[in-house]
Amino acid sequence: MLNQPRAHGPYAARRGMALIAVLWIVAALSIMVMGLTQSVKQGIRAAATQRDLIEGQALGEAAIGLALQQLSVQTDPVIGPGQISVSYAGVDVEVTASPLNGWVALNGATAPMLAALLQTAGGLDAARAQQMADALVTWRDEVPQVNISSAVASGNKQRRFEAVEDLMLVPGMNYDLYSRIAPLVTASTTNGGPVNAQAAPSAVAQALGDNTAFIAPIAAGQGNLFRLEAAVPLSTGKILYLTQDAALQRSGANNVAPWRILRESARIDAADNPSVSA
């Protein structure tokens, strides 16, 4: 057979350009498909994480509720942290219950105690730690300037810390400093005395040192304020740590709930990453 003549001139150039265009389209479609696949995978992972959080939250709240039931009928004072093992919906959950006087009370701690915390745990030098401690005390004890009508309605009270996150409202506080001291403090109590050495997490004890004006053994626990942390195993092999600050109501009145939840936080960690109470 005779060889077919090759195309030359404008027709060959158009064929070459068409081939290049097709290759570019194929490459663009491949990139789009890869991007869409990655987005779908990320969506699946996000949905799985959200499902774990919802399921773990429900289990953790139930476990803490069962632990609070046990605490409400316990007659001996709770001095230090204790482990309470509960089972709910076929899942075994460990709950750690500690009196809240093991944490530094933002609404009751003295300026020297806050300065010690800011210097040791916050990493500030002595002068800066004292300055920041004074700023915290001034902010919490200040009576905000309000108009006459709102002052009458609110009673013109001191500001106080409603939550640990309120630390970020204090002038001079930055996020790095906040992240270092937030796990060591609480806004759920006004304890102005020494921190309970038996209930204090190791990080709090290390931050306050051996100064008995800041941390000391206490004969009885806080009484009715507790921090409970439930370690909930998830189906993915991770663990959800649900933390709640609660106030037990020991009045025995039928119209009073046995406890009241003051604060709540949650996080998910790998099973081999042990939790530190915060």
Predicted confidence (pLDDT) per residue in 24-52, tens digit: 887 777 787 777 777 766 766 666 667 77
Domain boundaries, the chain: 50-101+222-269, 104-188
Name which of 166, 175, 119 is nearest 140 in CA terms. 166
| pLDDT confidence of residue 232 | 93
What's the rounded mean pLDDT across residues 192-213? Answer: 91
Q: Determine contact, residues 95/102, Cβ cutoff 8 Å.
A: no
Question: How does residue 189 score in pLDDT terms, banded at 50, 70 and 90?
Answer: confident
Residue 46 — φ and ψ, nearest 5°?
-65, -40
Domain made up of 50-101+222-269: CATH architecture: 2-Layer Sandwich (3.30)
Q: Tell me, letter by letter, the H, E, C secondary structure of the chain.
A: CCCCCCCCCHHHHHHHHHHHHHHHHHHHHHHHHHHHHHHHHHHHHHHHHHHHHHHHHHHHHHHHHHHHHHHHHCCCCCCCCEEEEEEECCEEEEEEEEEHHHCEECCCCCHHHHHHHHHHCCCCCHHHHHHHHHHHHHHHHCCCCCCHHHHHHHCCCCCCCCCHHHHHHCCCCCHHHHHHHHHHEECCCCCCCCEECCCCCHHHHHHHCCCCCCEECCCCCCCCEEEEEEEEECCCCCEEEEEEEEEECCCCCCCCCCEEEEEEEEEEECCCCCCCCC
**261, pLDDT greater than 80:** yes
Q: Which of 35-39, 178-182, 219-223 has the highest mean pLDDT?
A: 178-182
Question: Of 242 and 223, which is predicted with more confidence?
Answer: 242
Q: Determine contact, residues 262/188, Cβ cutoff 8 Å.
A: yes
What's the rounded mean pLDDT across residues 255-265? Answer: 82
Candidate CATH numbers 3.90.650.10, 1.10.40.60, 3.100.10.10, 3.40.50.920; the one for domain 104-188: 1.10.40.60
The predicted-structure confidence for 107-119, as pLDDT tens digits, reads as follows 999 999 999 999 9
| pLDDT confidence of residue 79 | 83
| pLDDT confidence of residue 178 | 96
